[in-house]
Chains A and B, each alone.
Chain A
Amino acid sequence: MTAPVYLVDDDAAVRDALSLLLSTVGIDVRAFAGPEDFLSALPKLEPGCLILDIRMPAISGLKLQERLTASGVDWPTVVISGHGDIEACRKAFRNGAIDFLSKPVDEQDLIDAIQKGQAALGRAAEAAAERRETLELLAGLTPREREVLSLVARGFATREIAGALDVSPRTVESHRAAIGAKLGTTSAAEMTRLWIEAESAP
């Protein structure tokens, strides 16, 4: 719950006021005067929740959102706008915004949106950690064991695997026992889940 919030708004008064408000709630805020400032600082930033004003010179909030999505930054984004423009709202959500708020923004709405964003960030971090763990577990398997696991995950029975690998069923059984010990489970279903997770990892 301590992920930082990045605020991009070109109006100094709005920027200061929202920063002040969020800091009184105990949220760590960093404000940027424009999309260019934010983009240049981006490589050094840790993942956080984005608050973008939709109307800004040169690059609008929506354009910035698109650019970030294109470059693989999928941090939760809250779009704030001077008018309740439905078209802009639809675009923002299509680009993956988690919320769309009209100015003037009420603190509760903003805080709720940020919390939603931080929760999403938290979930993402958890999923990433799990996947990392799985990959680490699978990294401990020998090449032969990995071969056996892939066949198990595809639903083949021990005898079929033995036939396919041209080994005895007993050897397959012993490989399975070793895999079970390393992954901490004997369930074929659980093994399958871990395999799929590892395969889908980037």
Chain B
Amino acid sequence: MSERTPRARDILRRSLAPGIVWPLVCVLALGLLAGLERNARLADLTAQSDRLHAVASQRVDQHDAHLTALSAIAVAGAEQRPDLFHEVAGAVMRFYPRIIGIFLIPLDGEDGVLEIGIREADLRELIRDAAERSAGAPVLKRYPSDRPAYLIVKRSPNSDAARYGLALVIDAAALLDGDSDYWMRAEATRWLALPDGTPLIGVKEDSRTPQFTRALSSGTQPLEFKTAIRMTVADILPPGRVALVLAVIVLAAAAMRVIGRQRAKVRAAEARAELSGLETRLSHASRVNALGEMASGMAHELTQPLTAILAQAQAARRLAARGDTERVADVLEKVIGQTRRAGAILERLRTWTRPRERHAEPVDVRDCIHVAETLLAGQARELGARLTLTLPPTPLTVEGDRVELEQVLFNLMRNAVDAVAESADPGAREVVVEASHDGAMVVIDVSDTGPGIRPDVRDRLFTPFVTTRESGTGLGLALSHRLVERAGGDLTLVETREGARFRISLPLASAAGEAAE
């Protein structure tokens, strides 16, 4: 049979003990939830940062175009037409509010300085210095103020013969300005720095915070762009969802518990049914088995009355032919007696072999002892055992199933007969059955002069499949014990100096009746 399946299931069920497993399931579920939530937030950050990065990159590219245009105007005639430069610069700043200042600084003196938006004398030196050092590419400088801004400085014209330093002051905050309110959140941070690492704006999160890092895609202004999202436990484990998950788990646990209990109940009921069926079959099988063992004895038992009947009938026929009717009547009486004897033997055979319902009734145990004796007489004679009954003249009535009690007595007496058959001295092969009542109990002792019960089996006498006989099934005593208990009594082994003595104690039927009243 599939023994492994239930065992595996048992192990699983045991390990599913609510104390360990359900908290574990909760932790796993919450871990999974946190992981998913964190990934979702990170993905959000990446998407938003990507968009912002693209916008910012596009914006800084425009600065190159402005510089080129303004440089062209300056070279064409800033000195002659400063108003034109002013006009164009003003237009640029109007359209692009992030450009907060435009400077055109002559490299060789203070004449012709054009400052739009911001007027700060300090910046002139800064711009002039940067333009002189420029090797063609625009130079980026931090705007020397609290305002988050930077300067792009270019020489103009862009050659060694440069006459001006041209600069745009860009507001970093405006550069990162966007239509998304994602960046309004406190936990979402942005950070912008010059390529040399000089910070412009924002907060730089430490590396443990999930981040997005990419320089702006611009040849002239590859500004360092970083974003980050701070996540608290409450962020990745939103209380609502946590509550939902926990509720689902608790419900699942409860459901499994209910299902488990239901199944355990069904299993227990099945096991009980199987057991009781088994017991019935066992009881029947044991009786049939016992019957098989004594079948040869029974056959002999039955041939005796048949032999007598045949001989008597044939004798009667002769007497009748002779007209000796008086003796014929005598003989016929004997025939009847022997026929009854045969009938009784057959009746016992029948009740013993038929599977039957238990039927409690008042039973005189003396009758049961006689029945067992009848069934065993042949076997006992063959084995040379003397079977002695010591019974009181008055009935010993108990409440029980007649056939079951007969079976118990048969088992005990047969064991006793088998035991004495092993005895070396043929004169000492004695089996004594004594019945009496002791107060409200009927006590039946089955004693033998056999070798007794070995100490190693003494404790397990009434355990099924324990046997000292080679051909024994080990069921006889176990079953007898059960049957006696079922009748409200007890079956014990009594200590004796030699042989074995089994004692059946059963409540007297009248005593049981009085007690009930």
Chain B residues within 8 Å of chain A by Cβ, number:
27
For A59, the closest partner residue in chain B by CB is: B384
Interface centre among B300, B314, B322 (most CB of A within 10 A): B314
Q: Is A13 an interface residue (CB 8 A)?
A: yes
A-side interface mostly: loop
Q: Which segment of A18-26, A42-50, A69-77 sits at the interface?
A: A18-26
Rounded to whole Å, the gap between the CB of A13 and the closest CB of chain B is: 4
Rounded to whole Å, the gap between the CB of A142 and the closest CB of chain B is: 59
Give the docked Cα–Cα distance between A57 and B334 (Å).
Answer: 25
Whether B381 and A17, one on each chain, are in contact in the complex, defined by CB atoms closer than 8 angstroms, is no
Chain A residues whose CB sits within 8 angstroms of the CB of B314 once the complex forms: 21, 106-107
Q: Is B303 an interface residue (CB 8 A)?
A: yes
Chain A residues whose CB sits within 8 angstroms of the CB of B312 once the complex forms: 17, 20-21
Task: Report the interface size class on chain A.
Answer: 20 to 34
Chain A residues whose CB sits within 8 angstroms of the CB of B319 once the complex forms: 24
Whether A56 and B318, one on each chain, are in contact in the complex, defined by CB atoms closer than 8 angstroms, is no
Q: Is B311 an interface residue (CB 8 A)?
A: yes
Give the docked Cα–Cα distance between A56 and B300 (Å).
Answer: 11
Chain A residues whose CB sits within 8 angstroms of the CB of B304 once the complex forms: 11, 13-14, 82, 103
Chain B residues whose CB sits within 8 angstroms of the CB of A56 once the complex forms: 381
Rounded to whole Å, the gap between the CB of B296 and the closest CB of chain A is: 7
Chain B residues whose CB sits within 8 angstroms of the CB of A104 once the complex forms: 303, 306-307, 309-311
Rounded to whole Å, the gap between the CB of B428 and the closest CB of chain A is: 13
Whether B299 and A83, one on each chain, are in contact in the complex, defined by CB atoms closer than 8 angstroms, is yes
Q: Is A16 an interface residue (CB 8 A)?
A: yes
Q: Is A201 an interface residue (CB 8 A)?
A: no
Rounded to whole Å, the gap between the CB of A145 and the closest CB of chain B is: 58
**Partner among B305, B306, B315, B341 whose Cβ is within 8 Å of the Cβ of A20:** B315
Give the docked Cα–Cα distance between A23 and B296 (Å).
Answer: 31
Interface centre among B306, B311, B381, B384 (most CB of A within 10 A): B311
Q: Is B517 an interface residue (CB 8 A)?
A: no
Give the docked Cα–Cα distance between A14 and B341 (Å).
Answer: 12
Q: Is A131 an interface residue (CB 8 A)?
A: no
Chain A residues whose CB sits within 8 angstroms of the CB of B305 once the complex forms: 13
Q: Is A55 an interface residue (CB 8 A)?
A: yes
Whether B311 and A17, one on each chain, are in contact in the complex, defined by CB atoms closer than 8 angstroms, is yes
Whether B384 and A57, one on each chain, are in contact in the complex, defined by CB atoms closer than 8 angstroms, is yes
Chain B residues whose CB sits within 8 angstroms of the CB of A55 once the complex forms: 300, 381-382
Whether A14 and B382, one on each chain, are in contact in the complex, defined by CB atoms closer than 8 angstroms, is no
Q: Residue-by-residue, is A1-40 near B (CB-CB < 8 Å gives 1, otherwise 0)?
A: 0000000001101101110110111000000000000000
> Ordered nearest first, which 8 A-B pairs have the shortest CB separation?
A82-B300, A17-B311, A17-B308, A104-B310, A13-B308, A21-B315, A104-B307, A103-B307
